[in-house]
Amino acid sequence: MKRLLVLVVACACGGTTPTARSGTGPKPNHTEIDQFVADEDRILNVMAAADARIASRGIVLDKASVHHATMGAILAEDPSLAMEGDRPDVFSFDVRSRAIDSAAEVLARWKTPPEDVLGTRPALEMELLARFIASEKLRLASERELPRSAGLLLGALATTWRAPEMKDVGERDDWLARRFAEVTKSLAPKSLTPDERDELDDALDPLEHFLEGLPKSHAALVELRLAVQRVDLAAKPADRWAAVSARLAADAGMKLSSETLLAFIGTEAKALRDEIDKLVGVTVTEEVATHAADLVLAPDGTCRAAFTGSKMRALGPPEERAFDCTVRARIVDAHTADENLGVLVAMHDAVVAGAWALVFARGGDATTIALAAPRLVAPLGPTASGKLTRFAATHPVEAISRALSIEWIMRNGLAEAALRAEAWKNFGDAPLDIVDRELHPQKREKSYVNETKSTSKVAPSR
C-alpha cells in the first residue's frame, strides 16, 4: 500500500520537465505558456498588493502593483482606503474588491489552458487560481461585517505590522487611530456575542505593544476598549451557516448539510478516541491534555512545498490551512506511544472544536453543544477551555476545516497517517478536495465531499 501511494504521489505532484523525445520533431512553442505564467504573476501581485496577508504567503510584490492599487482607489474616491505606510491596509475593503475583480478578469481570458510544454500542469494551476479568487471574495464579504470581524482584521494588522520610519510616525499614528475609531463606531447593541467581544478585546493586546510614540492611536485604543466592555451583548450567535458553508465549499470542497457534517465529525471523533485507546502503556494526563490544547490554540510552523513548477502549490497556506502543516509534521515525526498520544489528543480536540464551531455557526449555544457535540478526551482548565470555545465561535471556517483535514489524514487509521501526511506535504498547498483527488487519481474514496442519503449517521472511510 505504501509503495502504491508513493507512486501515485510521484505521478500527481508534477513540477518536472518531461524527458525530451529522440528525433528532430518541431520544437514546442513556449509563447502561450509564457503568457500564462506572466498572467499568473499578475494575478498574485494584484491580490497581494491589496492584502498584506496574501503577500506574506510568499509573494514578492512589485511596487507597480501597489501603486496601481492605491491610485485606483484615489481615482475612485474610495472612502474605505487607508494606507499602512506605502500599502493599503486590510480594512480597505473596496481596494480588495477591485483587486479580486481584476484578478478574475485576467483569469477569465483563459478559456482553455495553454499547452503543457513544460510539464507544469497549467489546467490544475488555473483551477487553483480560480478557487483562490473565489475564497478571497467570500473572505472579503465576511470581513466587511464590522464589528464581528474586527478582531480578525486587527489581528491581521498585528501579524503583518512593520515599524514606521521616523518621518512616517505621524501618518501611521493618524491611520491607526482612524481604524480604531471606525471599529468603535461600528459597535451597536447586540452586535457582538460574549465570545466575539472577548476575541476583539484580546486582538488589541498585540497592537498595544506597537503604540509607543503613537499618542492618537493609544487614545483611540483606550476608547475602543471601553466601548467594547460597555456594549450590550447578544445572548447567542446568529445563524451564519449559509456564509460559513459557502467558505467551506471554496476552501475545502465541503458539500454536506450541517446535520450530516455534524454526524460525520462525531464519527470522526469516535474513530480518533478508538485510536487513542489502542495505544499501549500511555494515559491521557492533565499535562498531555494541556499540551494538546496548546497545539490546537497556537500551532507553530510553516508549510512550503519543496518543489518548483506550481506557483500556487508552493505558496504558504492561508489561515484556514495553516494548522494542517503543524499537524502533518507532528504525525510524521511521531514514533513512540507518547508522541502518538500527544498528536492524537490534539487532533481529537481540534475535531471537537470543529463540532462546536458548526453548532455556533447554526446559531446554537453551550446547551446545544452539550447535547449534540462530541466531548473532549479530558477536561481542560477554565482558561484553555474558554479559549477553545472562543476559537470555535469566532473562527468557524478554520475550525471546521481542521476537522476535515484531520479526517483525510486519519481516514485509514494511525497506521497510514504518516504516509498520507507526507504525501500531502509533498503535494503542496491546495484546497482539501483537490488534494484528495490528486493524491488518489486511481481510486476515489468515500469522503465528506459527497452528500450521503442519510443525515443521521456517517461512517468513516476505511
What ranges do the domains of the chain cover? 32-143, 150-230, 253-308+317-438
Q: Could you report how far apart the first and last alpha carbons of the chain are, in Å? A: 13
Cell numbers linked to 275: 485510536
pLDDT in tens, 335-366: 999 999 999 999 999 999 999 999 999 999 99
pLDDT, greater one: 157 or 7: 157
Burial tier of 405 (Cβ tally within 10 Å: 0-12, 13-18, 19+): buried
Instruction: Report CA-CA distances (Å) from 208 to 123, 180, 199, 255, 432.
Output: 46, 12, 15, 41, 36
pLDDT level of residue 75 (50, 70, 90 thresholds): confident
Burial tier of 99 (Cβ tally within 10 Å: 0-12, 13-18, 19+): buried
Q: Across residues 262-283, what is the average pLDDT?
A: 96
pLDDT in tens, 279-315: 999 999 999 999 999 999 887 666 666 656 899 999 9
- The pLDDT assigned to 77 comes to 84
Cell numbers linked to 309: 513548477
Q: What gap in Å lies between CA 265 and CA 448, rounded to an integer?
A: 10
Report the predicted TM-score, pTM, of the whole model to 2 decimal places.
0.88
Q: What gap in Å lies between CA 88 and CA 278, rounded to an integer?
A: 52
pLDDT, greater one: 454 or 182: 182
pLDDT, greater one: 47 or 445: 47
pLDDT, greater one: 456 or 163: 163
Q: What gap in Å lies between CA 395 and CA 138, rounded to an integer?
A: 14
β 83-84/87-88 pair status: antiparallel
Cβ(158)–Cβ(207) under 8 Å? Answer: yes
Cβ(94)–Cβ(80) under 8 Å? Answer: yes
- The pLDDT assigned to 24 comes to 57
> Residue 261 phi/psi, 5° resolution?
-65, -40
User: Does residue 333 have a pLDDT over 60?
Assistant: yes
Q: What gap in Å lies between CA 217 and CA 179, rounded to an integer?
A: 9
- The pLDDT assigned to 9 comes to 41
pLDDT level of residue 268 (50, 70, 90 thresholds): very high
Q: Across residues 15-32, what is the average pLDDT?
A: 58
- The pLDDT assigned to 69 comes to 84
pLDDT, greater one: 138 or 76: 138
pLDDT level of residue 409 (50, 70, 90 thresholds): very high
Mean pLDDT score across all residues of the chain? 88
CB atoms within 10 A of CB 75: 8
pLDDT in tens, 237-258: 999 999 999 999 999 999 999 9
pLDDT level of residue 25 (50, 70, 90 thresholds): low
- The pLDDT assigned to 27 comes to 65
- The pLDDT assigned to 60 comes to 86
pLDDT in tens, 97-135: 999 999 999 999 999 999 998 888 999 999 999 999 999
- The pLDDT assigned to 105 comes to 98
pLDDT in tens, 441-452: 544 444 444 443
CB atoms within 10 A of CB 184: 19
Collapse the DSSP code of 79 into the 3-class scheme (helix H, G, I; strand E, B; otherwise coil) and give the result: coil
Q: Determine the residue type at 5.
A: L
pLDDT level of residue 137 (50, 70, 90 thresholds): very high
- The pLDDT assigned to 438 comes to 94
pLDDT, greater one: 72 or 460: 72
Q: Which of 54-68, 158-172, 382-396 has the lowest mean pLDDT?
A: 54-68
- The pLDDT assigned to 128 comes to 97
- The pLDDT assigned to 462 comes to 32
Provide DSSP, 407-440.
HHHTTT-HHHHHHHHHHHHHH-S--HHHHHHHT-
What one-character DSSP code corresponds to residue 461? Answer: P
Cβ(28)–Cβ(323) under 8 Å? Answer: no
Cβ(428)–Cβ(310) under 8 Å? Answer: yes
pLDDT, greater one: 455 or 381: 381
What one-character DSSP code corresponds to residue 213? Answer: T
Q: For residue 130, give the H/E element and its range.
A: helix 122-143
pLDDT, greater one: 266 or 21: 266
